[in-house]
């Protein structure tokens, strides 16, 4: 779901498109131009059908964008940072940094998407009805009918109580309110998502066997996506539950070994990397400000012949793409940002000064210690615990 090209910003939120979205445009346009429209309105020319179909497909993408934009705006209003929106093969996704802090915020963020689609469906339906009352009954009205139906269907589908659908988020919010535990609620919603995904896959294969053709294949593809996404969400919820309440400062490796961005790769390798054997090095300028991040993986991309002339800043992960956190920030809010060119690393800043680094090995070690502490305190539990309940204030 990575962004292939940008559409700019709406209300300050970056909007991008993955190239796979062209597939869904082609599928919708082809199905309407050579299937639905000739069936409901015979006798028009191929160019008219195709023009109306492309217009409907583009309008549907705009509807998806409105759905995701509603999520993003409400999330931002509830204190959740929004990284951007990406449209792709199976719809769209609003990329949020961190999660809602209360079940009420979770409910509002999740619920506004289906509500937006439902409102759009009603508006398109009302426009189609008004056009018919005015005496119109051609392809433009057929486009409005299609947009009304597809938006209502989108709203209903997203309300299924199964993660990662919006209905799964609503289920999580309700369970969170009842149980008082966000992470166990997320696990329940994710399990419901897996069951729903497997049901879609089974239904898709049944349609393929009975000769329904492409519809069954598409349903199975959607089901596979739901299963994979729900499984990932359950894993994330389990990890987050074990790390709940733990601050970044309790996990980071400190002090961090920083490097000069103007040093050559060859000098750095022989004088620092091969001697200290760390895997992550924040780059700081002469004032001590963070300017980038170098990892061993990025250094490996430099050919041996170019190491003497290549500066660290030339191969570093640039500052805007480096995940940063404060020592007191909850670790669970940092975890979703550990991706991209930083190779799963984050830099910890205190007052603009580099004080530590968080790496996947730091997180893994903390999880292992949490399991050991849980087993030691509750031998019959078999592992897994909320790290915030560990002795001595929860620091492993």
270 annotated to a ligand binding site:
no
Task: Verify that 22 and 121 share a domain, yes or no.
Answer: yes
Q: What letter does residue 303 receive in the DSSP assignment?
A: -
**DSSP string for 331-346:** HHHHGGG--GGGTT-E
236 annotated to a ligand binding site:
no
Distance CA 75, CA 286 (A): 38
**Among 365, 362, 314, 323, which Cα is nearest to 342's?**
323
The verdict on residue 222 lying in a domain is: no
Task: Verify that 259 and 118 share a domain, yes or no.
Answer: no
Q: Indicate the pairing of strand 324-325 with strand 317-318.
A: unpaired
pLDDT for the residue 373: 59
Q: Provide the residue range defining the domain that includes 298.
A: 250-372
pLDDT category of residue 374 using cuts at 50, 70 and 90:
low
The reply to whether the predicted model has a pTM over 0.85 is: no
Task: Verify that 30 and 151 share a domain, yes or no.
Answer: yes
Task: Verify that 12 and 146 share a domain, yes or no.
Answer: yes
Q: In the chain, what percentage of residues exceed pLDDT 70?
A: 92
Distance CA 128, CA 327 (A): 56
pLDDT for the residue 97: 76
CA angle 76, 326, 10 (to 5 degrees): 25
Contact 276, 221 (CB under 8 A): no
Contact 171, 200 (CB under 8 A): no
166 annotated to a ligand binding site:
yes
Distance CA 324, CA 385 (A): 26
Contact 86, 2 (CB under 8 A): yes
pLDDT for the residue 393: 33
Angle of the 360-377 helix axis to the 214-243 helix axis, nearest 10: 70
Distance CA 203, CA 195 (A): 12
Contact 25, 90 (CB under 8 A): no
Residue 279: which H helix or E strand, with range?
none
Distance CA 123, CA 382 (A): 54
The verdict on residue 74 lying in a domain is: yes
Question: Counting runs of H as helices and runs of E as strands, what totals does the chain give?
Answer: 14, 10
In tens, the pLDDT along 142-177 reads 999 999 999 999 999 999 999 999 999 999 999 999
In tens, the pLDDT along 375-396 reads 444 343 332 222 222 223 332 2
Task: Verify that 153 and 298 share a domain, yes or no.
Answer: no
Domain termination residue (choose one: 100, 134, 159): 159
Distance between start and end Cα atoms, the chain: 36
Count of the separate structural domains present in the chain? 2
In tens, the pLDDT along 20-65 reads 999 999 999 999 999 999 999 999 999 999 999 999 999 999 999 9
The verdict on residue 332 lying in a domain is: yes
Q: In the chain, what percentage of residues exceed pLDDT 90?
A: 69
The verdict on residue 136 lying in a domain is: yes
Q: What are phi and psi of 253, to 5 degrees?
A: -85, 125
Task: Verify that 131 and 17 share a domain, yes or no.
Answer: yes
Task: Verify that 143 and 31 share a domain, yes or no.
Answer: yes
In tens, the pLDDT along 287-311 reads 999 999 999 999 999 999 999 999 9
pLDDT category of residue 277 using cuts at 50, 70 and 90:
confident
The verdict on residue 234 lying in a domain is: no
A 10 A CB-CB count for 251 gives: 26
Task: Verify that 144 and 281 share a domain, yes or no.
Answer: no
| Catalytic residue set | 68
Domain termination residue (choose one: 107, 142, 159): 159
In tens, the pLDDT along 58-110 reads 999 999 999 999 999 999 999 998 989 999 988 889 988 778 889 999 999 99
Is 334's pLDDT higher than 90? no
pLDDT for the residue 379: 40
List, edge to edge, every strand of the sheet that includes 81-88.
Answer: 5-10, 13-17, 81-88, 91-97
Task: Verify that 261 and 152 share a domain, yes or no.
Answer: no
The verdict on residue 230 lying in a domain is: no
Specify which residues 290 forms β-bridges with: 284
Task: Verify that 15 and 150 share a domain, yes or no.
Answer: yes
Task: Verify that 152 and 254 share a domain, yes or no.
Answer: no
pLDDT category of residue 213 using cuts at 50, 70 and 90:
low
| Centroid of chain to Cα 90 | 13
**Among 91, 92, 109, which Cα is nearest to 100's?**
109
Domain termination residue (choose one: 142, 159, 176): 159
The verdict on residue 200 lying in a domain is: no
Residue 393 backbone zone (phi > 0: left; psi -120 to 50: alpha; other: beta)? left
Burial class (CB in 10 A: 0-12, 13-18, 19+), 384: middle
pLDDT for the residue 212: 64
β strands within 12-149, DSSP E: 13-17, 81-88, 91-97
pLDDT for the residue 370: 74
Helical H segments across 210-359, by residue range: 214-243, 265-268, 274-276, 296-300, 312-315, 331-334
pLDDT for the residue 234: 92
Question: What CATH number does the domain containing 305 carry?
Answer: 3.10.580.10
The verdict on residue 182 lying in a domain is: no
Task: Verify that 21 and 123 share a domain, yes or no.
Answer: yes
């Amino acid at each position: 779901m990575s962004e292939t090209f940008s559409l700019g910003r709406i209300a300050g939120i970056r909007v991008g498109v993955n190239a796979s979205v062209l597939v869904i445009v082609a599928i919708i346009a082809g199905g309407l131009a050579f299937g639905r429209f000739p069936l409901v309105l015979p006798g028009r020319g191929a160019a008219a059908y195709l023009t109306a179909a492309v217009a409907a497909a583009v309008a549907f993408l705009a509807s998806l964008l409105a759905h995701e934009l509603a999520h993003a705006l409400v999330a931002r209003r509830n204190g959740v940072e929004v990284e951007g929106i990406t449209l792709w093969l199976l719809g769209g996704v609003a990329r949020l940094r961190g999660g809602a802090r209360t079940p009420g915020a979770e409910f509002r963020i999740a619920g506004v998407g289906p509500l937006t689609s439902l409102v759009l469906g009603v508006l398109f339906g009302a426009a189609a009805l008004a056009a018919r009352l005015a005496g119109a009954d051609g392809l433009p009205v057929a486009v409005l009918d299609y947009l009304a139906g597809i938006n209502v269907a989108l709203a209903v589908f997203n309300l299924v109580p199964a993660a990662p659908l919006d209905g799964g988020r609503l289920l999580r919010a309700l369970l969170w309110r009842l149980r008082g535990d966000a992470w166990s609620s997320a696990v329940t919603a994710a399990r419901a998502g897996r069951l729903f995904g497997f049901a879609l896959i089974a239904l898709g294969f049944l349609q393929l066997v009975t000769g329904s053709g492409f519809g069954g294949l598409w349903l199975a593809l959607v089901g596979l996506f739901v299963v994979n996404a729900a499984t990932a969400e359950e894993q994330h919820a389990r990890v987050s539950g074990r790390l709940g309440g733990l601050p970044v400062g309790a996990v980071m490796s400190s002090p961090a070994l920083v490097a000069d961005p103007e040093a050559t790769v060859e000098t750095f390798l022989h004088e620092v990397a091969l001697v200290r054997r760390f895997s992550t090095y924040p780059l700081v300028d002469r004032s001590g400000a963070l300017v980038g991040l170098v990892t061993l993986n990025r250094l490996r991309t430099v050919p041996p012949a170019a190491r003497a002339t290549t500066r660290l800043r030339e191969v570093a992960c640039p500052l805007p793409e480096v995940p940063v956190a404060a020592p007191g920030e909850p670790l669970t809010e940092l975890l979703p940002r550990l991706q991209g060119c930083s190779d799963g690393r984050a830099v910890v800043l205190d007052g603009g000064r580099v004080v530590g680094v968080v790496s996947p090995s730091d997180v893994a070690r903390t999880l292992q210690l949490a399991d050991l502490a849980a087993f030691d305190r509750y031998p019959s539990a078999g592992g897994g615990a909320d790290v915030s309940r560990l002795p001595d204030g929860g620091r492993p």
